[in-house]
């Protein structure tokens, strides 16, 4: 594992959500669960056409910019501010692998654009369902796998922190 759940929570997810003025415990847990499900918290950073800790596709990445963030110029500016100045212009998709805060912001935009209320922060089953319905048009994995990965990779960290 590249990161502990606690490290990812504090250094990438929470900081990014607060910077975007979008923080909530539910959003934080949803993104943490997404990283656990998609890449095992960083074990697999590039699989087929999926990039980074959240396994975002180039198509999704472009759609976030071209179809969603274009409607929110101030938010787009904040997200762009997280990306590397030169690397984003040269190879924007590589930012999904090399820049955790940027990848987190884009993953959050995937959820934000669906405009559905978030589940309760402590309802792992509802978080899994939300991921399944909204993160990928054709999810790789099931809600049960999400729950198992969340319990194995995220909840042990929560128990240590408590």
| Higher local confidence (pLDDT), 154 or 85 | 154
Residues 2 and 42 sit within 8 Å (Cβ to Cβ): yes
3-state secondary structure of 42: coil
Which tokens hold the place of 97?
């692998």
Task: Using the predicted structure, report yes or no on whether residue 115 has a pLDDT greater than 60.
Answer: yes
Mean pLDDT across the stretch 66-71? 98
pLDDT grade, residue 159 (50/70/90)?
very low
pLDDT grade, residue 89 (50/70/90)?
low
How far apart CA 118 and CA 77 sit, in angstroms, is: 24
Q: How far is CA 146 from CA 32, 74, 132, 142, in A?
A: 11, 33, 9, 6
Pick from 42-51, 120-129, 150-159 the range whose average pLDDT is largest: 120-129
The pLDDT, as a whole number, for residue 160 is 43
- Would you call 60 exposed, middle or buried from its count of C-beta atoms within 10 A (0-12, 13-18, 19+)? buried
| Higher local confidence (pLDDT), 55 or 159 | 55
State pLDDT tens for residues 20-61. Answer: 999 999 999 999 999 999 998 887 776 777 889 999 999 999
Give the strands of the sheet with 56-57, arranged side by side: 46-47, 50-51, 56-57
């Amino acid at each position: 594992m590249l990161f502990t759940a606690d490290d990812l929570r504090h250094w990438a997810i929470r900081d990014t959500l607060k910077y975007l003025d979008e923080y909530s415990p539910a959003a934080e847990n949803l993104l943490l669960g997404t990283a656990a499900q998609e890449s095992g918290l960083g074990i697999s950073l590039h699989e087929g056409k999926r990039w980074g800790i959240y396994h975002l596709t180039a198509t999704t990445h472009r759609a976030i910019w071209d179809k969603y963030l274009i409607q929110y110029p101030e938010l787009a500016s904040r997200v762009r501010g997280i990306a590397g100045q030169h690397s984003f212009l040269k190879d924007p998709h590589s930012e999904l692998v090399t820049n955790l805060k940027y990848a987190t912001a884009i993953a959050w935009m995937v959820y934000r654009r669906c405009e559905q209320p978030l589940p309760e922060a402590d309802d792992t089953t509802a978080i899994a369902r939300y991921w399944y319905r909204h993160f990928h048009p054709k999810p790789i994995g099931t809600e049960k796998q999400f729950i198992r990965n969340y319990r194995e990779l995220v909840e042990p960290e929560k128990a240590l922190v408590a």
